[in-house]
Structure 1
Amino acid sequence: MRDYGAGPSRRADARDVRITDVETAVIEGNFDWNLVRIHTDAGVTGLGESYRGGRVTDIMGYMTDFLVGENPLDVERLFRRLVQETSGHGGTTGKVVTAASGVEIALWDLAGKLLDVPTYQLLGGKYRDEVRLYCDCHAGEAYAVDTGYTDYGDEAAYEPAAYAETATQAVELGFDAIKFDLDTPADNDPDPFNGRLSAADVAEKEAIVEAVVEAVGDDAEVAFDCHWDYSLDTAKRLARALEPYELLWLEDVVPPENVDAQREVARSTSTPLATGENRFRVHEFSDLLYDFAVDVVTPDPTTCGGLAESRAIANRAEENYITFSPHNVCSPVGTMACVHLGASVPNFDYLEYHALEVDWWDDLLVRSDPLIRDGRIAVPERPGLGVELDEDVAADHAKGEGLWTSRTD
């Protein structure tokens, strides 16, 4: 077996640093945000974030045994070690890779701080000074999630006018790209299982799209998310029905397991299709990209393997002239990690922002100015991710007793 724990022994004294501890925390935002902090004997710490979900911090804590004593500058080797050491636990996919993603991001933050450069510099350099965001919106109380369970709103929340009103508000905040969920409770009537929509159902969704597009005009691009809800025939009919609206993209139209089905939809329509947020590591993206089953690829860096793995996905997408727009439902910590990634990727387009309803989102970082200005985030020039967690605000919103948990305590 390859031994990724066999690290190099020669290093300049200034870079001979060792990991001493790993701490985790869960912050209750609109999702549970899984944070990780890595300590070193140089007195420097690195901050990272993994995608939402139960027990991810437990897995990150379990990984402590494979990190303590290691040099944090070996970011990619350590990520591979975590995957290898957890391979018997499903470490090549799923929540184990998600946990490793947060650790990897914290290592990039550490590496930048130790070398006194921003993380984007370590990822290859900068293509842009600011990263554009698209705002993931909800019409009224149309869509809520509690520990992964979808809780739909009342019927009024799904009227086209409700979507149009929220779209207008987002544009007034400075966003020039927005996205809405297009799946609704009506999708489950008369059958909640087969994923098929009637012609009347498709027409109702077209009315929503038309209302949003007309409301924003040329001020914003518009995307819609289907959350893998539909059968192949419905996905084709829906995508074709929406062709006149020239969407930014239509996302996750069919369940994610079958690339051939995704490709069939892509072949049937001129509406751009996006998918990728629930795939893991670069290997799970290869068929999607090389078979041209997608127009916009949307991996989640805090899910799929971290920043280096996401950049590898972006590189493969660039080979096929496919744009890269990462999925992101993170706190400002994970968001800023994605900003560094977006700065370093030539085919980057938009980064998701999914916290419009969290009025203390900015407060989680120590800063005086708003993080988002006119739908954009400036790429930091400070070392590492360029962010500092406000421990008091984090503690106020922490899940459970206290903020940080360490396996070595």
Structure 2
Amino acid sequence: MPEHPSDGSSDRRDFLRNAGLGGLSLGMMFDKLSNPYKTEQELEFITQKVGRDSKPSDLKITDMRVATLVGVPFSSPIIRIDTNQGLVGWGEVRDGASANYALMLKSRLLGKNPCNVEKIFKEIKQFGNHSRAAGGVCGVEMALWDLAGKAYNVPAYQLLGGKYRDFIRLYADTPEANTYEGFAENMKKRRDQGYTFLKMDFGIGMLADQPGMLVNASNWSVKRQWDDRESGKLGNYANTKHPFTRIQVTKKGLDKLVEHVGKVRDIVGYDTPLAADHFGHFDVNTAIQIGEAMEPFRLAWLEDLVPWFYTDQWKQISDAIETPTLTGEDIFLKEEFIKLIDAKAIDMIHPDLASSGGLLETKKIGDYAEEKGIPMAMHFAGSPISMMANVHCAAATENFVALEHHGVDVTGWEDIVTGLKPIADKGFVRVPEKPGLGVELNEDVAKKFLKKGATWFAPTDTWNTKDSADREWS
């Protein structure tokens, strides 16, 4: 039957359909007949807290751009995803990775609704891989959750199922010093900052060039664990997997490590958890010897003694020592974590959300470990944007222990974003209640960290066109 606007039926029908307020709608409908102005006031009052800046079902991605920051503490490409409704989503490619890992995904994102996070993730995860190669996929996933939270006006943790905690515990690296007196002063600084969980670096690099400490080390660049630009006589130490260097630690070397860690423990005390970072490249036998030597100091964990993919060797180490073992910062997706967990090869998992698959995949990893009785610490070394992605995931995951903070001593680090200040407060981060990740990029401050020669969110139209078939099956 045709509608006649003059009889008011269309107005009433549209009002009921659009307001969606059930019984309240009926009351306001009759008010409208007698006093239209009063009805408008009532509707405005009732819906005053309803977000009007987005219609989630109509939200579409229109653009993606990047700006690479350095010194935060390393290099971190920041992703900005724009939409047709003016909402902006922030993400971050993992430290040390190329922005191109993200940009090549742009043609797969344009026109899509960012609220369909898992669907989009399943479409783009084929373009990620372990370590930094996952940076683009994970950075985009962060930005999608930021957009979805803003569209629905809820924090990201709520979209992951809610939170287990209001505060996220941080663990901080131990600042280096030339003397133990200097180290003690740095530790006092950490305690004054409120950190209740610490991590230190020690390994065979500190034994290099000292006579009688190492076997078969003289032809390797042992002090250059991370520098893949220097090739020694036997090859590039940084890129030679641990079992193949054939470096061993002597009894004298082990005694030196024990002396060092003992002094550190005396400074830190036993009330504070103290973890140990990477140790260098040596085989499983040496790893066990070092692990056994460290047992009196009750370290929170020994990290990445051998590469993560040597499941059998990890089990051999874990079965032989009492100190907890931990790995995982370079693993992409849950399947490889499941192998380590099912084999009972490690005592703790250590995903880096910017490599493991983003917020939802990391929560799935944590949930699987939780079912098997395995705790989860989280690796992180980026800007506050990636930190907040970690914070929401940690809040939503039951077996979470502590999140790494590598930017403690970076001047201006917290000012890179707005929306949460302070970010780190006495060694903890309060979980934000604002929509999405809960922070926005502070462009004036962030520009101070812009990589030399890089552009500030320049147009990326060259990445707009998809030029391949992506289906993984026939």
Structure 1 residues 168, 211: CA separation in 2 closer, same or farther (over 3 Å shift)? farther
CA distance in 2, matches of 1:367, 1:223: 31
CA distance in 2, matches of 1:406, 1:295: 46
Aligned partner letter, 2:317: V
Asked if 1:18 corresponds to 2:63, the answer is no
Q: Is the 2:327–2:346 Cα contact (8 Å) retained in structure 1?
A: yes
Deviation at 1:224, TM superposition (A): 0.7
Asked if 1:173 corresponds to 2:193, the answer is yes
Deviation at 1:202, TM superposition (A): 1.5
Match among 141, 145, 152 for residue 104 of structure 1: 141
CA distance in 2, matches of 1:296, 1:382: 31
Q: Is the 1:75–1:104 Cα contact (8 Å) retained in structure 2?
A: yes
- Greater shift, 367-376 or 270-279, is seen at 367-376
Aligned partner letter, 1:236: I
Q: Is the 2:56–2:115 Cα contact (8 Å) retained in structure 1?
A: no
Structure 1 residues 295, 163: CA separation in 2 closer, same or farther (over 3 Å shift)? farther
Asked if 1:185 corresponds to 2:202, the answer is no
CA distance in 1, matches of 2:414, 2:370: 32
- Give the equivalent residue in structure 1 for 2:103: 61
Instruction: Find the structure with the greater CA-based Rg.
Output: 2
Q: Is the 2:131–2:329 Cα contact (8 Å) retained in structure 1?
A: no
User: CA offsets per residue over residues 136-187 of structure 1, 9 Å max, x none?
Assistant: 12313xxxxxxxxxxxxxxxx3x55554443332122110110011125344
Aligned partner letter, 2:113: N
Aligned partner letter, 1:42: Q
Deviation at 1:397, TM superposition (A): 1.2
Asked if 1:403 corresponds to 2:456, the answer is yes
Moved over 3 A (4+): 91-96, 159-165, 186-190
TM superposition score normalised by structure 2 = 0.76
Gaps of 5+ in 2: 1-53, 221-244, 463-474
User: CA offsets per residue over residues 366-396 of structure 1, 9 Å max, x none?
Assistant: 2573211110000000000100111011112
Match among 168, 172, 175 for residue 138 of structure 1: 175
Structure 1 residues 81, 226: CA separation in 2 closer, same or farther (over 3 Å shift)? same
SS at structure 2 position matched to 1:242: helix
SS at structure 2 position matched to 1:405: coil
- Give the equivalent residue in structure 2 for 1:125: 162
State how 1:308-323 maps to structure 2 within 5 Å: 308-323=360-375
CA distance in 1, matches of 2:407, 2:248: 31
Deviation at 1:229, TM superposition (A): 2.5
- Give the equivalent residue in structure 2 for 1:240: 292
CA distance in 1, matches of 2:205, 2:182: 15
Aligned partner letter, 2:188: T
- Give the equivalent residue in structure 1 for 2:86: 43
- Give the equivalent residue in structure 2 for 1:223: 275
User: CA offsets per residue over residues 328-370 of structure 1, 9 Å max, x none?
Assistant: 0011110111000110000001000111221111111125732
Aligned-pair identity in percent equals: 35
- Give the equivalent residue in structure 1 for 2:264: 212
Q: Is the 2:68–2:78 Cα contact (8 Å) retained in structure 1?
A: yes
CA distance in 2, matches of 1:242, 1:98: 34
Q: Is the 2:66–2:77 Cα contact (8 Å) retained in structure 1?
A: yes
Deviation at 1:254, TM superposition (A): 1.6
Aligned partner letter, 1:83: K
CA distance in 1, matches of 2:369, 2:458: 38
Match among 306, 309, 327 for residue 358 of structure 2: 306
- Greater shift, 124-133 or 398-407, is seen at 398-407
Gaps of 5+ in 1: 1-11, 141-156
User: CA offsets per residue over residues 204-234 of structure 1, 9 Å max, x none?
Assistant: 1112221122112244210111255331111
State how 1:191-340 maps to structure 2 within 5 Å: 191=217, 192=220, 193-227=245-279, 229-340=281-392
User: CA offsets per residue over residues 269-290 of structure 1, 9 Å max, x none?
Assistant: 1101111101111111112111
Aligned partner letter, 1:17: L
Aligned alpha-carbon RMSD (Å) = 1.9
Structure 1 residues 253, 384: CA separation in 2 closer, same or farther (over 3 Å shift)? same
Aligned partner letter, 1:75: V
CA distance in 1, matches of 2:185, 2:345: 33
Q: Is the 2:204–2:280 Cα contact (8 Å) retained in structure 1?
A: no
Q: Is the 1:324–1:349 Cα contact (8 Å) retained in structure 2?
A: yes
Structure 1 residues 226, 376: CA separation in 2 closer, same or farther (over 3 Å shift)? same
